[in-house]
Amino acid sequence: MNEQLDAMKLSNAQIAWRAAQDIEDGAYVNLGIGFPEMIAKFQPEGRDVIYHTENGVLGFGEAPPEGEEDWDLINAGKKAITLKPGSAFFHHADSFAMVRGGHLDLAVLGAYQVAETGDLANWSTGKGGVPAVGGAMDLVHGARRVAVITDHVTKKGEPKLLERCTMPLTGVGCVTRVYTSLAVIDIQDGHFVLREKRPQMTFDALQAVTGAKLHVDGEVADLVVPDL
């Protein structure tokens, strides 16, 4: 069963590609550290997207070639970046005013768990160790759309989309759309609403690996992504 499921799944790059298709021209976007950063690579041609990083840069570009890093010019993941024409620097209070103040069009984050209520758990497994939250709890508030990209299930095959999160919450009722390895799902009025699913997969098979009821509201499109 797991092998069959794995064969249908999108790779992380393909999930990132799918999420990138929904970022409109002119959008101000924050991509969370790690997996979400990959989305920038798949930005469709002809669209201008302005990326925000919490540590005080708007309008940054790709990583510089190795050896040409300037360590005063990094992103929230502490990786070296470059500037695009028209970029801006600002301090941390202004940076989070952009976040909480509703000035970003989109924030994309990773997830341990997402609930049908829009609750997100992505900062702590709750198992001890050193707690670290960074900007995660701020980023879930204020952006017009808060999207999650994630595998549909855990490495053990357990659902990550649930009725209620069991891990410590990052935010309550904050996620608006989830891009998974098997589906694209909106969160509306406390429900998961299925928008796209892998064409090889039946609705029932998808429901079986989802920890809360999937609702259908209109057509469910095929989730088809290029080989990457």
Partner 1 sequence: MDKSVSSLAAAVAGIDDGATVMIGGFGGSGAPIELIHALIDAGPKHLTVVNNNAGNGHVGLAALIEQGQVDKLICSFPRSADPRVFTELYLAGKIELEIVPQGTLAERIRAGGAGIPAFYTPTSYGTELAEGKPVAEFDGRSYVQERWLKADVALIKAELGDPLGNLTYRMAARNFNPLMAMAATKTIAQVSRIVPAGGIDPEMVVTPGIFVDSVVEVTDPRQEEALNREGAVYP
Question: Which residues does the annotation mark as catalytic?
Answer: 54
Task: Out of 9, 64, 84, 96, name the contact with partner 1 by CB under 8 A.
Answer: 96
Q: Does 78 bind partner 1 (CB under 8 A)?
A: yes
Residues from 18 through 57 that contact partner 1 (CB under 8 A): 53-57
Cβ-based nearer residue to partner 1, 42 or 112: 112
* Cα–Cα distance measured from residue 41 to residue 65, given in angstroms and rounded to the nearest whole number: 16
Answer yes or no whether residue 68 interacts with partner 1 by CB under 8 A. no
Which of 15-23, 35-43, 165-173, 183-191 is the region at the interface with partner 1 (rule: CB under 8 A)? 165-173
Torsion, Cα 168 35 212 106, to 10 degrees, reads 90
Of 211, 177, 209, 208, give the one whose Cα is nearest residue 194: 177
* Closer CB to partner 1, 47 or 91, in the complex: 91
**Which of 63, 73, 205, 220 touches partner 1 by CB under 8 A?**
73
* Under rule CB under 8 A, residue 131 binds partner 1: yes
Residue 95 as a binder of partner 1 (CB under 8 A): the answer is yes
Binder among 6, 25, 48, 70 for partner 1 (CB under 8 A) = 70
Closest CA to 118 of 84, 162, 83, 67: 162
Total residues binding partner 1 (CB under 8 A): 39
Q: Is 168 in the site for partner 1 (CB under 8 A)?
A: yes
Give the shortest CB-187-to-partner 1 separation in angstroms: 16
**Shortest separation between residue 109's beta carbon and partner 1, angstroms:** 14
Q: What is the 3-state secondary structure of the chain? A: CHHHHHHHCCCHHHHHHHHHHCCCCCCEEEECCCHHHHHHHHCCCCCCCEEEECCCEEEECCCCCCCCCCCCCECCCCCECCEEEEEEECCHHHHHHHHHCCCCCEEEECCCEEECCCCEECCCCCCCCCCCCCCHHHHCCCCCEEEEEECCECCCCCECEECCCCCCCCECCCCCEEEECCEEEEEECCEEEEEEECCCCCHHHHHHCCECCEEEEEEEEECCCCCC
Under rule CB under 8 A, residue 113 binds partner 1 = no
The answer to whether residue 92 forms part of the interface with partner 1 (CB under 8 A) is yes
Interface segment toward partner 1; rule CB under 8 A; list 145-153, 162-170, 185-193, 202-210? 162-170
Where along the sequence are the contacts to partner 1 (CB under 8 A)?
Answer: 53-57, 69-74, 78, 89-93, 95-96, 99-100, 119, 129-138, 141-142, 168-172
